[in-house]
Structure formats: structure tokens, C-alpha cells
Amino acid sequence: MLCRAKRGLSAGPSARIQSIRTIQKIAKSMKMVAAAKYTRAERELKPARVYGTGALALNEKAHIKGPEDKKKHLLIGVSLDRGLCVAALTPAGKEVVLVGIGDKIRGILHSTHADRFLMSFKDVGRKPPTFGDASVIALELLNSGYEFDEGAIIFNRFRPVISYKTEEKPIFSLNTIASSESLSVYDDIDADVLQNYQEYNLANIIYYTLKESTTSEQSARVTVMDNASKNASGMIDKLTLTLTVITKELIEMISGATALD
């Protein structure tokens, strides 16, 4: 009887409690790192939101719409390299070209839609995104020469308190904007000026969606690590209880065996 009890102890709750404590420590420290990154991301998001809203104002106030027979689509998905929350892309039919910002998008869609990728950007998210990063992305997109009828950028907009919502903002090609009726309201616009304006605005929109997505990502990480750490606590409590019960039974057995002797 004694031997059986001894075997149970070494492989049992005690060792498991140890390993779960280690996991809990890791989860707690990862949570702290994510919390620090989240605080910074949220702080930088505040001005970026005003800036991004300003950049999107023209599309909204001038009610610019894409052409009716939309043939060529451009979908830009904004995420990070190691994304816990990934903006869901559903490229449906037609001629759709994808641009992934953040390795995660490419990873997820690679198996099914590899041939549709125009370009993919990695090294996104380790450091907070800057306007320079957005400019680089915008320049690559513009230099690719891909002419599309209708485009959209899909990202995760951050919402308080610590949640996010996948959203889509339209991206219009230069042609669409130039030929839009509502644009005639705007006085005396040189074609060159309009092109410059649009190129700058593309960088602005990418910058804004990057900032939103980063904040969403870091907040998701904080939540996940927090849950992991709490789950670990729960498991430790349960196992400690089991260990206590076994220890009591052992003591009874031993005292019982001693009494028999």
C-alpha cells in the first residue's frame, strides 16, 4: 500500500504544480511587456487618429464612389508579423489582387491565394510603426504600377476598453478621384497636384491603419496573457487541493499501517 502511494506522488500533482508555476511566470512577464507596448501604442494612436480622420475626410465629404462595373480589386490587409488578431480578408471572385502588410496575412492566405499576392511586407510590428514605414509601403504600391478600379484597406480599429473591430476603408484609384463628379466642386486642381495629393494620402491612410492595428494587436496580447496567467492560477489551486487531499490520505494510511504493526 505504501509503495503504491509513493509512486503516485512523484508523477503527480507536485511536479505538475511546478511546471504550471513556471508557465504562469512566463505569462505574467509577457503580459507586462505587452502592457508596456500597448500603453505606448495607445498614446501614439491618439494624434494618429486625428491625422487619419483628416486624411479620410476628402473621400467622405466629397462622397467619392467607385465605378459601377468594378473589375480590378485591390485588397490591402493590415496586420503584424505575429498577429493574434488578424483582419479577416475574403477575396471574393473577380480579379482581386492582395497586398499583405505583416507576415501573418501572407502566412494565412498563402496556401489558398498565393497567386493573388501583389506584394507582402514583413518586419511589421516589432517596433511602433512610423510615418516613414507607411511612406515606404505607399511608394512600393504606387511604383508597382498596378491599376485598379476599386480598392479597400482592411485593418483592426482599436476600441476602448481593450477590444477591436475589423473595419474596411475604401481606397480610390487616381482615375476614380479625378473623374468623380463631386470633385468639380474643388477649385482649379492641377493634375500634378492631384497626383501628389493622392500619393501622400495613400501613405496617410496606411499610417493610420497601421497605428490602429498595432494598438489592437498589443491589447489582444495583454488580454491573452492575462487569461493564461489566470488559468494557470486556477489550475494551481485545483492541483494544490488535490495534493492536500492525497497528503491527508497518505498520513491516514501511514498511521493506519503503523497502528496495525
Partner 1 sequence: MLPVALLRRPGLRRLVLQARCYAEAAAPAPAAGPGQMSFTFASPTQVFFNGANVRQVDVPTLTGSFGILASHVPTLQVLRPGLVVVHAEDGTSTKYFVSSGSVTVNADSSVQLLAEEAVTLDMLDLGVARANLEKAQAQLAGAADEPARAEAQILVEANEALVKALE
Binding footprint of partner 1 on the chain (CB under 8 A): 43-44, 46-58, 60-62, 130-132, 134-135, 138-139, 142, 185-190, 192-197, 199-201, 203-204, 207
In the complex, least distance from residue 183 CB atom to partner 1, rounded to whole angstroms: 8
Strand pairing category for 163-172 and 117-121? unpaired
Smallest separation, CB 174 to partner 1 (Å): 12
In whole angstroms, how close is the CB of 102 to partner 1 at the nearest point? 19
| Residue 177 CA: distances (Å) to CA of 170, 189, 200 | 12, 12, 14
CB of 198 to partner 1, least distance (A): 9
Is 156 or 229 the residue whose CB approaches partner 1 more closely?
Answer: 156
Nearer to partner 1, 58 or 84 (CB): 58
**Closest CB 191 distance from partner 1, rounded Å:** 9
Complex with partner 1: residue 9 or 194, whichever CB lies closer = 194
Task: Give 22 or 186: the residue with its C-beta nearer to partner 1.
Answer: 186
What is the CA 167 to chain-centroid distance, rounded? 12
Distance of closest approach, residue 98 Cβ to partner 1, in angstroms: 22
| Residue 125 near residue 102, CB atoms below 8 Å | yes
CB of 26 to partner 1, least distance (A): 32
Distance CA 166, CA 88 (A): 7
Q: Which of residues 8 and 47 has its CB atom nearest to partner 1 in the complex? A: 47
Under 8 Å between Cβ of 98 and 109: yes
* 8 Å CB contact between 116 and 96: yes
Angstrom distance (rounded) from CA 76 to CA 109: 12
Half-sphere exposure of 127 (CA within 13 A, CB side): 5
Taking the least distance from each CB to partner 1, the nearer of 118 and 142 is 142
Say if residue 122 is exposed, middle or buried (CB neighbours under 10 Å; 0-12, 13-18, 19+). middle
219 Cβ partners below 8 Å, 6+ apart?
Answer: 38, 41, 42, 158, 162, 163, 164
| Beta carbon nearer to partner 1, 105 or 134 | 134
For helices 2-10 and 191-260, angle between their N-to-C axes, nearest 10 degrees? 160
